[in-house]
Amino acid sequence: MAAVGTWSFSRPAVERMRCMLLAGQNATDVVETAIAEVEDDVDTGRHIVGRGGYPNSKGVVECDAAIMEGVPGRFGAVAALRGIAQPCRVARKVMEKSPHSLLVGDGAEAFAQELGFTSEPNANMLSDHSATAYREYLEKNKLVRGGHDTIGLIALDLSGNITVGVSTSGAPFKAPGRVGDSPLPGCGLYADHKVGAAAATGDGDKIMCYCPSFHVVQLMRQGSSPNEACQAVLADIQRRIGGDKCFELGLISLNMKFLSA
């Protein structure tokens, strides 16, 4: 049994996961529940997740989320989803109820509504903090600094099932319809029940060009520990882009023997 998450603000979620796993709950339920609680907490919105997250350039909050089980073919995601405070729950429904794997925009919202989710007014998705930040963006062209804080959680349950989930409201004041790496398999997340799982966080427009989560899992398949795999992927990307160039990228990974962040 193990649980791991991105960034310090995920620590309460990781502790919640640990308790749920010890109680015998399955990895997918654990990941979905833990992420949903973070998504719906307006105070964590400033970490660019769910309710209270920063809106796009038109003032609308659009969220991306995905969930992937280690079992082959078990993946679901939503992107540019409006009005739903817990997009990871919709992503799971895509995995379980839709013939598709990724739904975006109006189609994702319509799917959610068909399954009983309530679309809230955009004002409900904003917090005082994010609304103020948006006004400052419009009036002073003031940008949010240091914020690409996707939440990513990985859980390995007592039965040996592994699941990874991610969620974000995306880059502050992004173009409407912009989608980052988070809901893309291999980029923002990846899982294989024979090996382990990985998740990425950072500058999604750059991350998606390198498929780092898939790369981490493949290196673990070849015998690397999670720490070794993450370090190797970061070093490989650094070599490819050049030593004088960099972008924000964090990786977490978990296999059946070793834990790393």
Amino acid making up residue 206: K
pLDDT digits (tens, 9 = 90+) for 110-161: 999 999 999 999 999 999 999 999 999 999 988 887 555 789 999 999 999 9
The whole-number pLDDT of residue 148 equals 52
Task: Find the angle CA(112)-CA(155)-CA(9) to the nearest 5 degrees.
Answer: 80
pLDDT range class, residue 193, cuts 50, 70, 90: very high
Residue 188 above 80 pLDDT? yes
Evaluate if pTM is beyond 0.85.
yes
pLDDT for 155-186, tens place per residue?
A: 999 999 999 999 999 999 999 999 999 999 99
pLDDT of 261 > 50? The answer is no
Tell me, what's the pLDDT at 143?
Answer: 84
CB atoms within 10 A of CB 106: 11
Q: Which residues are catalytic?
A: 150
The better pLDDT of the pair 259, 227 is held by 227
Residues tagged in the binding site annotation for substrate = 178-181, 201-204
Helix and strand totals (H; E) in the chain: 9, 10
pLDDT band at 220 (very low <50, low <70, confident <90, very high): very high
For residues 135 and 126, is the Cβ–Cβ distance under 8 A?
no
Domains of the chain by residue range: 2-188
Structural contact between residues 54 and 133, judged by C-beta atoms closer than 8 angstroms: yes
Sign of the torsion angle spanned by Cα atoms 22, 23, 26, 29: negative
- 51 contacts: CB under 8 Å, gap ≥ 6: 39, 40, 41, 42, 45, 61, 85, 124, 125, 127
Phi, psi of 127 (to 5 degrees): -110, 170
Q: Considering the chain, what is the average pLDDT of its residues?
A: 94
User: Is residue 7 scored above 90 in pLDDT?
Assistant: no
4 neighbors 153 (Cβ within 8 angstroms):
yes
Annotated binding site: 178-181, 201-204
pLDDT beyond 50 at 259: no
Give residue 78's pLDDT: 98
User: What amino acid is encoded at 145 in this protein?
Assistant: R
Q: Report how far residue 165's alpha carbon sits from residue 180's, in angstroms, rounded to the nearest whole number.
A: 15
